[in-house]
Chain A
Amino acid sequence: MSDSSTLSAAVAALPGWFTLDPVRPQLLGTRCTACGTYYFPRQQLFCRNPDCAGETFEDVALSRTGTLWSYTNAAYPPPEPYVVKEPYQPFGIAAVELERECMIVLGQLARGVDLARLCIGQRMELVLEPLDDGKLIWKWKPAA
């Protein structure tokens, strides 16, 4: 986790799920020390690989870039516990494939990303942005 963080954990929508590095944030997962399987959200008790009896996990920050697997948007306000600020602004959602972890992670698209300009397979990076209620969450945006 970055020491340069100037953000307090209280502002995270899901405290402990990601670093609060404002520039290069990362999702916080775990990795089975026996078979190498990554977990996000964090798994700390039992490995879910059916051939692995692993019960020890190391903390690991996930890759903060990956390729766009698919994308969509939420044209209508989602129900609670999503908090909607009126007037409702539709937001995008992306599924991004992380190569090292062999895993797809969902997240909102950063504000201002135009769905029409996205292309499956393009590079994406993780950023932090507030949800409608001001709490920070990870989002995906095209890599610079």
Chain B
Amino acid sequence: MSKEIAILGVGMHPWGKWGRNFVEYGVKAARDALADAGVTWREVQFVSGAATIRNGYPGQVAGATFAQALGWQGAEVNTSYAACASGAQALAAARAKILAGECELALVVGADTTPKGFLRPAPGERPDDPDWVRFRMGITNPTYFALYARRRMALYGDTLEDFARVKVKNAEHGAENPYARYRKRFTLSEVAASPMVADPLRLMDICATSDGGAAVVVSSLAYAKRIGKADAPRIRAISTVTPTFASALVEMPDIATDSAVAAPAQSFRAALPRKAYEEAGVDPKDVDVAEVYDLSTAMELDWIEDLQLCARGEAAALLRRGETALGGRIPVNPSGGLACFGEAVPAQALAQVCELAWQLRGQAGARQVENARVGITANQGLFGHGSSVIVVRP
């Protein structure tokens, strides 16, 4: 039995800081995805929403919220929450339903409205909550990104200019993406002139939070064939594994790693794509395009190595040679990545899949990766959640 499902259609609402209700972004993305798929909302048998936790009860039952906004039509419904991997988790639920033969056509939607400024924990004296503890000590999200970045500099000789180069590349990619929030090109000196936030990372090295929405319509291969879309891109793997004890890297929001006294230290980021490659039977050498979670510029370089697109420590060299830019051997973040989008948590993992679908259909316009056949996403969030999705052209 094939473990693949077809991506019939994708849609997005432009990222921004619109300040409107998240439902509006999700419905716009969903309608675009349905139109792109050439199916009607009535035909959808399963709607799977990625939850947002900052928009009250409707956000926590996002699947039903989107279903009601699109018009109740009796579909089965699901909502998934998995921090930054929520969209992938919602997609995995749809895939399981389809592969189990319980439905043929499913709609997956994620959307978010984010508050301004730093994300902060709930108030009160709450030392049992690691998120509260780290903020009490003055440790914010950029702290972690900066610790990893400094580590790259010491281990591999990466420089601040390398990090700036990632920003310049992604800005160049995203400049032509109508869904990106930031569409301005930057020079290395402009990045270098932006204020230092968490040494060695500057403001332009770190991604913002955004409003946005993304949706994907998926089906069984038989359904795709029946409606004349046998050549639609296919999802061949979805990895949503947890870390393995002992986790070697200090991760948000913890203030310490696991102790690796009784079990060997493990890398969570490397584990996510490893499972996806195994599931897909795809070799990293076969990958044509990657969408990775560049919460910081330096983290894009970590991901390139975790995806095994080059040897450990060689991502900056790959970048300097232009191989991760459009036209290079393995373009990374042709969408512009988080650098151009900013993070809209429940939509982000789906936005990565949307971009791969456009790339594999040859419809990415100015940011097209030539003859892309195999794409991979990578994403990681809080509390042991992350995802990696492999999409192939049949």
Please classify the interface of chain B as helix (H, G, I), strand (E, B), loop, or mixed, using the class held by over half of its residues: loop
Using a CB-CB cutoff of 8 Å, which residues 105-120 of chain A contact chain B?
105-108, 115, 120
For B137, list chain A residues within 8 Å (CB). Answer: 13, 82, 106-108, 131, 137
Would you give the shortest CB distance from B192 to chain A, in whole angstroms?
A: 15
Complex Cα distance, B258 from A104, in Å, reads 8
Question: At the interface, yes or no: A74 with Cβ under 8 Å from chain B?
Answer: yes
Known: A71-B150, A72-B199. A81 touches B265 (CB 8 A): no
Would you give the shortest CB distance from A49 to chain B, in whole angstroms?
A: 5
Please classify the interface of chain A as helix (H, G, I), strand (E, B), loop, or mixed, using the class held by over half of its residues: loop
Question: At the interface, yes or no: B228 with Cβ under 8 Å from chain A?
Answer: no
For B151, list chain A residues within 8 Å (CB). Answer: 69-70, 120
Q: Which of A72, A73, A81 has the most CB of B within 10 A?
A: A72
- Contact of B259 with A101 in the complex, beta carbons under 8 Å: yes
Q: Which of A48, A75, A101, A120 has the most CB of B within 10 A?
A: A75
Q: How many inter-chain contacts with C-beta < 8 Å in the A-B complex? A: 136
For A49, list chain B residues within 8 Å (CB). Answer: 245-246, 262-263
Looking across the interface, which residue of chain B has its beta carbon closest to that of A94? B147
- Contact of A37 with B199 in the complex, beta carbons under 8 Å: no
Complex Cα distance, B118 from A137, in Å, reads 23
- Contact of B133 with A51 in the complex, beta carbons under 8 Å: no
- Contact of A106 with B246 in the complex, beta carbons under 8 Å: no
Known: A36-B261, A95-B250. A41 touches B138 (CB 8 A): no
Question: At the interface, yes or no: B157 with Cβ under 8 Å from chain A?
Answer: no
Known: A50-B245, A76-B197, A80-B120. A105 touches B255 (CB 8 A): yes
Would you give the shortest CB distance from B362 to chain A, in whole angstroms?
A: 42
Q: Which of A35, A40, A69 has the most CB of B within 10 A?
A: A69
Residue-wise interface mask of A (122-144) relative to B, using a CB-CB cutoff of 8 A (1 in contact, 0 not): 00000000010000010000000
Interface residue ranges, A against B (CB under 8 Å): 13-14, 17, 32, 35-41, 48-52, 69-76, 78-82, 91, 93, 95, 101-108, 115, 120-121, 131, 137
List 15 A-B pairs, Cβ < 8 Å. Answer: A35-B262, A36-B261, A39-B259, A41-B130, A41-B256, A49-B262, A50-B263, A69-B151, A70-B150, A70-B154, A72-B198, A74-B139, A81-B136, A82-B135, A121-B154
Interface residue ranges, B against A (CB under 8 Å): 117-118, 120-121, 123, 125, 127, 130, 132-140, 142-143, 146-148, 150-151, 154, 195-201, 244-246, 250, 255-263, 265
